Amino acid sequence: MSKDSYIHKVLPGSLGGPLLFVFHGTGGDEDQLLSLGRDLAPQATIVGPRGDASEQGAARFFRRTGEGVYDMGDLTRATDKMAGFVKAHVEAAKPSLVLGLGYSNGANILASVLFAEPSLFDATVLMHPLIPFEPEVKGSLDGSRILVTAGRRDPICPPDLTARLEAYLRADGADVTVEWHDGGHEVRPSEIEAARQLFAVTSDERTASHV
């Protein structure tokens, strides 16, 4: 468990405030979602790791053998490594909240960490995730706030698999919201606003519980 197990960048926030982890899509890097993270959670310290798997030079968080066909052994490796990375940063920062935001491949690794460590995040945003397998949740997602965003014409993440993921999460007790748009794999303003609202509500509730 190491804070430096991934190449990463940190944008400092308020001392003792939220800690937001942002996970890029295929071909992105540790910078891809930092500014979005700052926009969504202005007080948070933001951590952006770079995926350690390469697909013809494009950074990813785990390997795949084809579109939507995952190397499940490598996904297990990556999930364990990322969970340790997140825990190390949480232990060092002792934040008021732990938040997660991932897009595409980043949403997939975030979801996999969530299945393995259900109590690690207070709220997560999964933008255009593709989970083509039945997840095994090691514990309960009861009380977890999760936003899934998706495009009804997404050629990479078919809507039926998004609906199936929603059903899995709800069955395990998560508080799930799905934000749909009529486009494809791109992120639209409605998704960003839904993410902003999720983080704001989670932060407000945590503040109220400590008054």
**Span 125-150, pLDDT tens digits:** 999 999 998 888 999 999 899 999 99
Strands 69-70 and 64-66 turn out to be: antiparallel
Q: Is the pLDDT of residue 200 over 80?
A: yes
Q: Is the pLDDT of residue 62 over 60?
A: yes
User: What is the pTM for the complete model shown?
Assistant: 0.96
> For the packed helices 105-116 and 72-93, what is the interaxial angle rounded to 10 degrees?
70
Q: Is the pLDDT of residue 50 over 90?
A: yes
* 203: confidence class by pLDDT, cuts 50, 70, 90: confident
Q: Which of 2-16, 23-37, 56-70, 179-193 has the lowest mean pLDDT?
A: 56-70
* 10: confidence class by pLDDT, cuts 50, 70, 90: very high
- H or E element that contains 41: none
Q: Which residues contact 28 (CB under 8 A, 6 or more apart)?
A: 59, 103, 106
pLDDT digits (tens, 9 = 90+) for 65-96: 887 789 999 999 999 999 999 999 999 999 99
Q: Is the pLDDT of residue 210 over 60?
A: no
Task: Give me the chain's average pLDDT, please.
Answer: 94
At residue 159, the pLDDT reads 95
Span 95-122, average pLDDT: 97
Span 190-207, average pLDDT: 91
Q: Which residues contact 101 (CB under 8 A, 6 or more apart)?
A: 20, 21, 22, 23, 33, 36, 37, 40, 110, 124, 125, 127, 195
Percent above pLDDT 70 for the chain: 97
Q: Known catalytic residues?
A: 104, 154, 185
